[in-house]
Amino acid sequence: GRLRRTFRWAWRITYLSAVGLVGYTCYIVYQDRHPEPQFEPDPTKKTLVILGTGWGSVALLKKLDTENYNVVVVSPRNYFLFTPLLPSCTTGTIEHRSIMEPVRTILRHKKAAVKFYEAEASSIDPDRKVIKIVDNSEIQGATSETEIPYDMLVIGVGAENATFGIPGVREHSCFLKEIGDAQQIRKKIMDCVETAAFKGQTSDEIDRLMHMVVVGGGPTGVEFAGELQDFFEEDIKKLVPEISPRFKVTLIEALPNVLPSFSKQLIDYTENTFREEKIDIKTKTMVKRVTDTTVEAEVSRPDGGKERVVIPYGLLVWATGNAVRPIVKDLITKIPAQKDSRRGLAVNEYLVVQGTRDIWAIGDCAVAGYAPTAQVASQEGNFLGRLFNNMAKTENHESRIQELSSKMNLQAGNSAEAAHEIESLEKQLRRIKDIKPFRYSHQGSLAYIGSEKAVADVSWWNGNLATGGSLTYLFWRSAYLSMCFSTRNRVLVILDWLKSKAFGRDVSRE
């Protein structure tokens, strides 16, 4: 009897939790589909122009009370991209639209309307306080270039792919930064496989085509290599068995080890796991030249000598980190205080671009002393959101105090009430104005390394916890799921995971 009662209670609790969860999801979905009516921005307010729709800018927009400013967003991409799951899109574990969130949806949920222009900012004039924008999309109207004046400008344009001017890289390799890159890689993997399986293909060509080379052993290269090997083991091997023994993934890194920003123990764990997965790691190997079929690299030998090697490849993915975007380079040349900036716009502790007024920079294009990560960019965006909200409140309070003071001078009768309000406003002002400088709080680093294993360096109490394996992989999945932008993204990602597990990844080449 007792067991039955316990069982009945357990069942009730599970049932109620499930109903609660479904109810809550329905409520969120309903709210998402029926946002409150928006009011138009007040044209007398300051114009705040935000460049970019990436991690930094979107975190700022999320936090910002848009009714305090005329907000204008400019970006060539009309969506936010959840980059941590981008490597999973290269093999179809996750479909690309599951990790995109349209910026129009994000902006529709703000209290006051925000203008969005799908365009690239091509130059910034800090003296005239205007930016030039260009529509570089496929479809263009009669006007595709114009200027936007700003009172306040936030630059969150991210970074572009570093190639270090190495010949052939731009022409022959794929990058892994944007959705288009992931789609191109997905297509090319299958093209290599199908071409290798072509009737009468020569043996050398099969080896070359089935050789997938990844240059750069940072987190992007490592995660991609892991995803690729999974794709091969779980799907390609079963579907194209005749050529499968020739499939090979090689990861090339110039430094003595991969994942230089992770702790030593996790570097060893990753390298061992890769060895088990049969991913070939070539460290101390610096790529010097790329042709349409080969990579030429310089290997540092243990005796200190150097050796030149030529590696044939079918697919080449280039992941050697970030370089400064042209618009940022151009702005740097216009500001004398930035003459020594090489890696981006030097900012102060309030993220103001040094040597300018009313220009802030966040994320990968800003140099604030932190690594170029999504975590840093979103914390910076969040900080600016709070800062701008406070600045607007300060202005409102100050003008109200001024209004009350002049009223007090005119009508002596109401002065006690007004004095009381002034006192309370001044108290609030002191609190609002006391904004501490930006301080980054590191939550840890996570990376997927293939075969359902991940590595994590996470802050734990006052120390650091370094862990790797299958449990860490579950943690990786739940952490990224919780970080997804919206409930819609979360649901889609879960469905994609289930779908690829149940039916395998889709190997159609399109």
Q: Which residues bind ligand NAI (CB under 6 A)?
A: 84, 166, 215-221, 223, 252-255, 260-261, 286-287, 319-322, 371-373, 445-447
Rounded CA-CA distance 332/348 in Å is 15
Q: Which stretch binds ligand FAD (CB under 6 A): 71-79, 206-214, 283-291, 484-492?
A: 71-79
Q: Give bridge partners of residue 102 from the DSSP assignment.
A: 79
Structure tokens at 195: 């071409």
Rounded CA-CA distance 378/109 in Å is 19
Is 373 among the residues that bind ligand FAD (CB under 6 A)?
yes
Q: Which residue has the tokens 């001017």?
A: 165
Rounded CA-CA distance 287/458 in Å is 32
Q: Which is nearer to ligand NAI, 134 or 483 (CB)?
A: 483
What is the smallest separation between the CB atom of 257 and ligand FAD, expressed in angstroms?
A: 19
Is 132 among the residues that bind ligand FAD (CB under 6 A)?
no
Residue 116 identity (one-letter amino acid): F
Closest by alpha carbon to 194, among 500, 510, 456?
A: 510
Residue 335 contacts residue 353 (beta carbons within 8 Å): yes
Give the long-range contacts of residues 263-266, CB within 8 A, separation 24 or more: 263/457, 263/464, 263/466, 265/466, 265/468, 266/455, 266/456, 266/457, 266/466, 266/468
Q: Which is nearer to ligand NAI, 195 or 263 (CB)?
A: 263
Is 216 among the residues that bind ligand FAD (CB under 6 A)?
no
Structure tokens at 209: 């085509």
Is 483 among the residues that bind ligand FAD (CB under 6 A)?
no
Closest by alpha carbon to 178, among 79, 276, 260, 247?
A: 79
Which partner in ligand FAD, ligand NAI, none is near 450 (CB below 5 to 8 A by kind)? none
Footprint (CB under 6 A) of ligand FAD, residues 302-331: 325, 327
Which partner in ligand FAD, ligand NAI, none is near 134 (CB below 5 to 8 A by kind)? none
Q: Where are the alpha helices (DSSP H) in 313-444?
A: 326-334, 374-410, 415-433
Which partner in ligand FAD, ligand NAI, none is near 327 (CB below 5 to 8 A by kind)? ligand FAD
Rounded CA-CA distance 376/372 in Å is 7
Q: Which stretch binds ligand FAD (CB under 6 A): 141-149, 193-201, 372-380, 457-465?
A: 372-380
What is the smallest separation between the CB atom of 79 and ligand FAD, expressed in angstroms?
A: 8
Which partner in ligand FAD, ligand NAI, none is near 181 (CB below 5 to 8 A by kind)? none
Q: Which is nearer to ligand FAD, 48 or 240 (CB)?
A: 48
Binding mask 425-464 for ligand FAD (x = CB under 6 A): ----------------------------------------
Rounded CA-CA distance 177/87 in Å is 9
The DSSP code sequence of 459-480 is EETTEEEEEEEHHHHHHHHHHH
Q: Which is nearer to ligand NAI, 126 or 468 (CB)?
A: 468
The residue of the chain with the least Cβ separation from ligand NAI equals 218
Of 48, 49, 50, 51, which one interacts with ligand FAD (CB under 6 A)?
A: 51
What is the smallest separation between the CB atom of 331 and ligand NAI, expressed in angstroms?
A: 22
Footprint (CB under 6 A) of ligand FAD, residues 83-112: 83-84, 86-87
Other Cβ atoms within 10 Å of 311 Cβ, number: 19
What is the smallest separation between the CB atom of 354 and ligand NAI, expressed in angstroms?
A: 22
Footprint (CB under 6 A) of ligand FAD, residues 229-288: none
Three-state DSSP at 314 gives coil
Is 343 among the residues that bind ligand FAD (CB under 6 A)?
no
What is the smallest separation between the CB atom of 243 and ligand NAI, expressed in angstroms?
A: 28
Q: Which is nearer to ligand FAD, 312 or 372 (CB)?
A: 372
Footprint (CB under 6 A) of ligand FAD, residues 172-191: 176-177
Is 77 among the residues that bind ligand FAD (CB under 6 A)?
yes
Three-state DSSP at 83 gives helix
Report the residue count for the chain: 510
Three-state secondary structure readout of 89-124:
HCCCCCCHHHHEEEHHHHHHCCCECCEEEECEEEEE
| Contact set with ligand FAD (CB under 6 A) | 51-57, 74-77, 83-84, 86-87, 120-121, 156-158, 176-177, 220, 325, 327, 363-365, 372-375, 377
